[in-house]
Amino acid sequence: MARPRSEIHVTCQNNSCRYYQKERGKDLIRRGKNRAGHQLYKCLHCNRTFSETILTPLYHKHMPESEIIRICRLLVEKNGIRSIERITGHHRDTIGRLLEDLAEQAEYVNEEMLRNIGMQQYEMDELWTMVKKTEKSYP
């Protein structure tokens, strides 16, 4: 007897699939992990594979989530991009692109940081202040 599948809380992200972002009737299976360690899923209706981070600022990032959280915490402490570059070893353009992606999905980031990471509201205000300042210096 086969064991039952575990509950998957992700929906298909292929907009041409008839089960696109529909919970009911979806048929997804886990399909390994990518280089950054994020879970991959495959829709059995459209045969597309996608990452669990597809609609988040972590999508197409080749660094683990813990490193992105570390960079956000350094931003909250009012470290500049160049000092974060020296501390983490990531290039300043990588950090700048991460800031742009965080700014584009600010609502999602704010919710995740407050709920899952345990940052306080005043820390989030500091982060968005830093993102706003940095936005002016990057084209």
Predicted pLDDT at 103 = 77
101, two tokens: 């992606």
Highest mean pLDDT among 10-24, 48-62, 103-117: 10-24
Q: Is 82 helix (H, G, I), strand (E, B) or coil?
A: helix
- The mean pLDDT value for 12-37 works out to 78
Q: What is the pTM of this model?
A: 0.54
Sheet holding 49-51, edge to edge: 28-33, 39-43, 49-51
The per-residue pLDDT for range 27-36, each reduced to its tens digit, is 778 888 877 7
Residue spans of the domains in the chain: they are 7-54, 65-137
